[in-house]
Amino acid sequence: MVRVSHCFPCITMKSISLVSFLFCTNLLVASQNGIDILIVGGEGIGTNNYPFVVSLQLLWEGDYYHVCGGSIYNTKYIITAAHCVNGWEGSQLRVVAGIVNLNTGSPDQQIRMVKTIIIHPNFDEPEYWNDLVVLELDTPLTFNTKVAPIQLDWPRSGLAYPGKGVTVIGWGITEIVNQETSDSLQEVGLVIVDNDDCNTAYQQIRFAVSKQMICATAPLGKVEGPCQGDSGGPLFTTGKPHILIGIVSLGVGCLDPRFPSVFTRVSSFNNFIRMVTQ
């Protein structure tokens, strides 16, 4: 069984808390500067409709804890957010694929240890620029209907335009006030926000939204999106075939309506991912 307890450490910026959406345990607060996020206002997923999602788990005092989501690139490599693993060794991390419920597990699940951590060389944690890492597994995954890769978005694809509906999934906080969590994978629909508009919003806290980032928010009138525990998870096209557009990276607080959620823009790193996985 995977232990699932949560914390919400943050980075203070100009009196506003800019946070990553990392899933961590209370034991890690003192030693990690990470930040968590979980799906608030989402719907549970009864079966593994998204075979490309994985749970990234950290070994801590004899137990494994879910810390972040991730996406399967191929049988040997996983894509997630760099801040999820910054400061940890591969020997402390494992990946669980083919799972929907973290506590009950699944006969379809496949567990692999992390062999190599390949953080983007220009990752900047204070600013969360280039927030991407590729994880090499010690043993290849076996693909089937429950464990499968997701296609990457590519430059000039035209898929990630403002107003487009997208989906984000993860194992994070589902209720903000009481910090309630779910062991089951959650999904929610978001809408892509124009980068200029997103940057304007974040200028209030003197944070720059770069072209290597992509922003998305809940449809008008809803309070939904990634929160504590969702870091590293996929933002992808709603229709099939699913295409990975973004990686859950950061936000202000948890679903502050003034600030869209910010994701690493996958199309900006397509060449890097291909280069390090050859």
CA nearest 218: which of 175, 189, 252? 189
Residue predicted with more confidence, 39 or 175 = 175
- What integer is the mean pLDDT of 64-79? 96
Confidence of residue 94 (pLDDT cuts 50, 70, 90): very high
What CATH architecture is 151-267? Beta Barrel (2.40)
Catalytic (active-site) positions: 83, 131, 231
Spatial separation of the C-alpha atoms in residues 18 and 12, rounded to whole Å? 6
Q: Could you read off the pLDDT of 221-271 as tens digits, one per residue?
A: 677 788 777 999 999 999 899 999 999 999 887 768 889 999 999 999 999
Question: Cα–Cα–Cα angle for 215, 165, 271, nearest 5°?
Answer: 55
Confidence of residue 44 (pLDDT cuts 50, 70, 90): low
- What integer is the mean pLDDT of 115-126? 95
Regarding the domain delimited by 11-37+52-149+271-276, which CATH topology (the fold level of the hierarchy) does it fall under? Thrombin, subunit H (2.40.10)
Mean pLDDT of the chain: 84
Whether 11-37+52-149+271-276 and 151-267 share one fold: the answer is yes
CB–CB of 115/137 below 8 Å? Answer: yes
Q: Please provide the DSSP assignment of 158-199 as one string.
A: --S-TT-EEEEEES-EEETTTTEE-SB-EEEEEEEE-HHHHH
Write down the pLDDT at residue 210. 96
- What integer is the mean pLDDT of 204-212? 94
Q: What is the pTM of this model?
A: 0.86
Please say if the pLDDT value at position 109 is more than 70: yes
- What integer is the mean pLDDT of 86-113? 94
Q: Could you read off the pLDDT of 143-187 as tens digits, one per residue?
A: 999 999 999 999 999 999 999 999 999 987 766 555 556 688 999
Please say if the pLDDT value at position 14 is more than 80: no
Please say if the pLDDT value at position 25 is more than 90: no
Please say if the pLDDT value at position 117 is more than 60: yes
Write down the pLDDT at residue 176. 55
Spatial separation of the C-alpha atoms in residues 97 and 59, rounded to whole Å? 17
> Can you give the residue ranges of every domain in the chain?
11-37+52-149+271-276, 151-267
